[in-house]
Amino acid sequence: MHELSIAMAVVEQVQEAAAEHGHVAASSVSLRLGELAGVVPQALRFSFELAAAGTVLEGARLCIEQVPGRARCASCDTEWATGVPPSLWCPKCRGSAADLVSGRELHIAEVRWTVRTDPR
């Protein structure tokens, strides 16, 4: 289950950012996840809860934005949704020289920090 190693890497990166900027907790983290990245969102959510335990992300919400796979034909410049499994044949000219435009993303898009209130 590589989703656990991905979740651990996300938590580690957010922990580093928290330490660097003086944050003690985060309420949510948003990821952009391409449908062709080979990651199962439900498994990633489960793994995130495990990886976040005892960290600045404990109890934080994981938001996942699914990015659809898109390809562009190198011959005729047509762009199309690839689907899953991906169809890399151009629907217009039937050429096979396709470049992936999107769908392989996997990155942190946003972290929302918990604002510390002074109890004075």
Write down the mean pLDDT value for the chain. Answer: 93
Confidence of residue 115 (pLDDT cuts 50, 70, 90): confident
CB 33 within 8 A of CB 105: yes
Question: Pairing state of beta strands 61-67 and 26-34?
Answer: parallel
Could you tell me which residues come within 8 angstroms of residue 85 by beta carbon, excluding any fewer than 6 positions away? none
Q: What is the pLDDT of residue 37?
A: 95
pLDDT band with cut points at 50, 70 and 90 for residue 90: very high
SS3 assignment, position 107: strand
DSSP state of 57: T
Q: Which helix (H) or strand (E) holds 112?
A: strand 106-113
Query: Which is nearest to 55 in space by CA: 108, 19, 5, 2?
Result: 19
Please give the model's pTM, rounded to 2 decimal places.
0.84
Euclidean distance between CA atoms 45 and 97, whole angstroms: 35
- Hunting for tokens 């391409």 — which residue is that? 34
Percent of the chain clearing pLDDT 90 (strictly above): 83
